[in-house]
């Protein structure tokens, strides 16, 4: 049986950067808190826990003083930094540089559009950590839409600038962009070519994996997709693989693998999400090799 681990799977730059920053601080013997799960992968969180990383929620964060807290790749709203300053908390900044740049762009545009009666619209998942951080740049005044049903929130008679959570599906973003454009055009009072600007802020490291995974999934008899169950990116990329290869199985650890899946199988492909550590992909490979 030939087993191939997808070389493009595993941590994206933002997640890898955050994990490396956390590891460096922990190996220096510092006590570090992570505001929220540093990565949506239970196995990796457990590994970092064994090194001393303590995961806390926002309520616990507000009760801390005189300590060090890591901001994970998803980023945080301005209020978090304000609380840190008030409580003498040292922030270890691990926000993904792409997310950090997007936060600044949204903040600057929101301040400008307030004077022009315009609207900042963010396409994202309600409650997602990155979205909370992005909305916070606008004092939560931006319009959050998660799908076609939310388009009604937008006033077609006022200028619109559209941004996206970095981990949304590019195809879904393009559909939403088209719906907004058509709504403004049908209303007729504004020219959408001038009053509507759509910024494609879906991360290339996420969107570029989809076409690659389609080809990878088609090249093997079965696919083992490895991801944490809470990873939105993992759920999306799993669906991509499943649509190409019905014999695609979602697992979070070697213990979830069923030996019967491999009966009569000659080729197995192993791949994962942007939040899946490389060591876990290799562990899954080794487990299957021993079947």
What does the alpha-carbon distance between residue 22 and residue 2 come to, in Å, rounded to a whole number?
A: 36
Dig out the tokens for 184 from the structure: 């403004």
Q: Which two tokens stand for residue 36?
A: 């929220």
Among candidate residues 130, 157, 193, 247, the one labeled active-site is 130
| Separation between Cα atoms, residue 258 and residue 262, nearest integer Å | 8
Contact present, 76 and 112 (Cβ < 8 Å): no
Q: Which of 106, 69, 101, 87 is nearest to 197 (CA)?
A: 106
Active site residue 130: yes
SS3 annotation, the chain:
CEEEECCCCCCCHHHHHHHHHHHHHHHCCCCEEEECCCCCCHHHHHHHHHCCCEEECHHHHHHCCCCEEEECCCCCCHHHHHHHHHCCCEEEECCCHHHHHHHHHHHHHHHHHHCCCCEEEEECCCCCHHHHHHHHCCCCCCEEECCHHHHHHCCCCCCEEEEECCCCCHHHHHHHHHHHHHHHHHHCCCCHHHHEEECCCCCHHHHCHHHHHHHHHHCCCEEEEECCCCCHHHHHHHHHHHHHCCCEEEECCHHHCCHHHHCCCCEEEEEECCCCCHHHHHHHHHHHHCC
Q: Which residues are catalytic?
A: 130
């Amino acid at each position: 049986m030939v087993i191939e681990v997808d070389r493009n799977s595993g941590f994206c730059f933002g997640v890898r950067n955050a994990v490396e920053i956390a590891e460096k601080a922990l190996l220096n013997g510092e006590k570090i808190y992570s505001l929220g799960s540093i990565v949506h992968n239970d196995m990796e969180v457990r590994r970092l826990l064994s090194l001393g990383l303590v995961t806390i929620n926002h309520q616990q964060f507000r009760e801390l003083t005189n300590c060090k807290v890591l901001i994970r790749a998803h980023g945080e709203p301005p209020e978090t930094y304000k609380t840190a300053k008030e409580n003498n908390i040292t922030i270890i900044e691990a926000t993904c540089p792409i997310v950090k740049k997007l936060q600044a762009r949204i903040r600057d545009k929101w301040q400008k559009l307030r004077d022009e009666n315009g609207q900042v619209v963010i396409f994202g998942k309600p409650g997602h950590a990155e979205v909370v951080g992005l909305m916070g740049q606008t004092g939560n005044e931006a319009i959050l839409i998660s799908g076609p049903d939310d388009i009604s929130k937008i006033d077609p008679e006022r200028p619109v600038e559209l941004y996206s959570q970095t981990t949304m599906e590019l195809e879904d973003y393009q559909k939403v962009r088209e719906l907004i454009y058509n709504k403004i055009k049908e209303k007729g009072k504004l020219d959408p070519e001038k009053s509507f600007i759509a910024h494609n802020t879906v991360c290339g490291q996420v969107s570029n994996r989809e076409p690659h995974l389609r080809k990878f999934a088609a090249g093997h008899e079965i696919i083992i997709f490895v991801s944490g169950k809470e990873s939105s990116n993992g759920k999306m990329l799993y669906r991509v693989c499943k649509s190409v290869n019905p014999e695609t199985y979602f697992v979070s650890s070697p213990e979830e693998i069923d030996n019967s899946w491999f009966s009569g199988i000659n080729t197995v492909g192993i791949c994962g999400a942007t939040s899946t550590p490389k060591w876990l992909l290799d562990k899954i490979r080794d487990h299957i090799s021993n079947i």
